[in-house]
Structure 1
Amino acid sequence: MTTDRGFPAPTALVAHARRFRASGGTPAVPRVAATVLLLRPAGVGFEVYLIRRVATMAFGGMYAFPGGGVDPSDSTTHLDWAGPEPADWGVRLGLAPAAAQAVVCAAAREVFEEAGVLLAGPDASRVVGDVSDDGWEAARGDLEQRRIGFADLLAGRGLTLRSDLLLPWSRWVTPEFEPRRFDTYFFVALLPGGQRTRDVSGEADHTLWVRPADAGERAAAGELTMLPPTLVTLGEVAACADLAAVARAAASRDAATPITPHLDLSDEDEPRFYLTGPPMS
């Protein structure tokens, strides 16, 4: 996906950048966040789940992956945990163990809140099945409204967070001119058998499953509007022939060094994003 000519910049973001530059503003401190590329088999390849953020949200109107900011409860509660330990996650993510646990917990929590997919099971070798009935939906709503914490929700149902179902992929930081900035860790995860995605959070006005390469082509044609993190990540997973290849690629990726899109405004007619960070694979 990466080219020497960079990426086209949406008009609204160009306006933000020009106002920020003219005002001499101070960049906002990025909020730590997590996002998850949910993948599922499709023929000989696979599909990825995309949501379009509602217009009233940060980055509204853009297609992205489910995710959101780390919540204080993600790092202050004890979780029944399966998979790599927080210290191991810290090595992969370049974080202290407690901070790494919070990011992984946020990834699992957000994908349940926004897509109705639960990466947990009764033990370290199993995953729950369908979680779309009224009881589960009530629990998801309580979690989303912070009436219950994620650890308490899992404990109440005797479930273990399956951190091994999340594979670290990359880390992106929002450009300095944006009023709301995020330091986002990207993960990939296979949709658990028996579960299905649901448009439940109220933060999206459209969702779809699509082959990564097709999504990139539709974005290039102007059918799907995306920012560089989404475009680049789709291109990276599209280069994998199947889900096993995605897992192999994830094992060697740099998920700690941040990548930052920078907006070049020197061309008045066609401002473009360029990237700084580790080499794109």
Structure 2
Amino acid sequence: MTKMPSPPRPSASLIIVNHKNEVLLVQRNPSAKSWGNYHVFPGGVHDEQDASFQITAIRETFEEAGILVATERDPDSPLNNEALDHGRKAVHSKQLSFKEFTEQHGLTLSVDALLPFTQWVTPPITARRFHAHFFVYFLPYEEGMQLSVKEQRLPTPDGGLEVISAAFWSLTRALKAFDIGEISLMPPQFYILQTLAQLLQGERTDEQKMRIKVLSESNFGKMVIRPEARRSSEDKTVSIMLYEGDELRGGPQGRRHRTTSYSRPDVNPKLTLERNFDIFTESPATEDSEAKLKSAL
């Protein structure tokens, strides 16, 4: 009797970009049930307390990395580090709901600043499956501006509960570290880092931010990627993940949208991305079959 695949659990992750165009990556605890020791964007499973996937991404980022994507309703009474650290521990341990924490401190979550940047559904062959919603968020920065304590905070791990390190990485450094086996990445993180590396180079500019916003509002930002695995008939150490729009998934002849995985000894597989179309104008239109949560205000 064929075992039915488990339904994917809704989840969300936040891709935080600082003014140097570095992205926040957290390293999962090696003993984690899913993807232990991998470097990922902070995020996690949607909780019933979350009114939207954006809030899931913001809450999980606060828990895992200590960065809070929110604004104070009273700028004359900003949070200090002690209050943020205390709230983080209370929310992470579920002694206090995230909503209660934000209400107590007069915070408004910056959900409108989060830019959708693809969704990924774990293949049915995997035991633990997720439907992950990814969002890009640019940390506020202007030359000479005064940042609040909340905005100046550096990412820190959560004491090993879920992650053991949290740091900003340049896109080229992260991809190089993965290429030589120094860190491990899953296909969604690899794909997104490769995409951002083509668009965010050097110091951040308003033009770069606008391009990401335009991309977010296009088919690319809404794209739901459901990878299909194929084994190479010639080399058993090679496998292919086909994505929406690839010629082997019904796309135009010659269209490539896939990653190829190459097994290698002692480290995780090497990945290469093939994508030979304009992501701004030719990304495939896909449907999100899940019921969508209403956007939070």
The TM-score range, normalised by the shorter chain, is: 0.7 to 0.9
Match among 4, 7, 14 for residue 36 of structure 1 = 14
User: Who is 2:227 aligned against?
Assistant: 261
- What is the letter of the counterpart of residue 215 of structure 1? A
Deviations 1:60-83 (A, max 9, x none): 1211100000001113xxxxxxxx
Aligned residues: 228
Identity, % of aligned pairs?
A: 27
Asked whether 1:151 is paired with 2:151, we answer no
Segments of structure 2 that go 5 or more residues without pairing to the other structure are 141-150, 246-256, 258-274, 280-297
Asked whether 1:108 is paired with 2:58, we answer yes
**Structure having the larger proportion of residues in helix:** 1
- What is the letter of the counterpart of residue 172 of structure 2? A
Deviations 1:68-126 (A, max 9, x none): 00001113xxxxxxxxxxxxxxxxxxxxxxxxxx21110111111111111111249x7
Query: Whole-Å Cα distance in 2 between the matches of residues 262 and 127 of structure 1?
Result: 52
Tell me if the contact between 2:156 and 2:167 (Cα under 8 Å) persists in the aligned partners.
no
Secondary structure at the aligned position of 1:200 is classed as coil
Secondary structure at the aligned position of 2:131 is classed as strand
Q: Residue 55 and residue 127 in structure 1: after superposition, are their counterparts in 2 closer, same or farther (change >3 A)? A: farther
User: Who is 1:19 aligned against?
Assistant: none
Tell me if the contact between 2:72 and 2:78 (Cα under 8 Å) persists in the aligned partners.
no
Query: Whole-Å Cα distance in 2 between the matches of residues 185 and 47 of structure 1?
Result: 20
User: Who is 1:247 aligned against?
Assistant: 213
Deviations 1:155-210 (A, max 9, x none): 11111111122111110011212211110000011234423211125212233321
User: Who is 2:241 aligned against?
Assistant: 274
Tell me if the contact between 2:232 and 2:240 (Cα under 8 Å) persists in the aligned partners.
no
User: Who is 2:26 aligned against?
Assistant: 51
Q: 1:133-172, aligned counterparts within 5 Å?
A: 133-172=81-120
Query: Whole-Å Cα distance in 1 between the matches of residues 76 and 9 of structure 2?
Result: 30
Tell me if the contact between 1:120 and 1:159 (Cα under 8 Å) persists in the aligned partners.
yes
- What is the letter of the counterpart of residue 35 of structure 1? S
- What is the letter of the counterpart of residue 152 of structure 2? G
Asked whether 1:72 is paired with 2:31, we answer no
Structure 1 moving runs of 4+ over 4 Å: 126-131
Secondary structure at the aligned position of 1:170 is classed as strand
Asked whether 1:210 is paired with 2:177, we answer no
Query: Whole-Å Cα distance in 1 between the matches of residues 79 and 159 of structure 2?
Result: 17
Residue 235 (structure 1) shift: 0.7
Q: Which has the larger radius of gyration?
A: 2
Query: Whole-Å Cα distance in 2 between the matches of residues 68 and 228 of structure 1?
Result: 17
Secondary structure at the aligned position of 2:53 is classed as helix
TM-score by length of 1: 0.73
Q: Residue 201 and residue 104 in structure 1: after superposition, are their counterparts in 2 closer, same or farther (change >3 A)? A: farther
Query: Whole-Å Cα distance in 2 between the matches of residues 73 and 237 of structure 1?
Result: 31
Q: Residue 144 and residue 55 in structure 1: after superposition, are their counterparts in 2 closer, same or farther (change >3 A)? A: same
Larger RCO (alpha carbons 8 Å, 6+ apart): 1
Secondary structure at the aligned position of 1:223 is classed as coil
Tell me if the contact between 1:118 and 1:128 (Cα under 8 Å) persists in the aligned partners.
no
Residue 253 (structure 1) shift: 4.8
Residue 266 (structure 1) shift: 4.5
- What is the letter of the counterpart of residue 64 of structure 1? V
Tell me if the contact between 2:70 and 2:110 (Cα under 8 Å) persists in the aligned partners.
yes
Q: Which moved more, 1:265-274 or 1:113-122?
A: 265-274
Q: Residue 274 and residue 129 in structure 1: after superposition, are their counterparts in 2 closer, same or farther (change >3 A)? A: farther
RMSD: 2.5
Tell me if the contact between 1:130 and 1:196 (Cα under 8 Å) persists in the aligned partners.
no
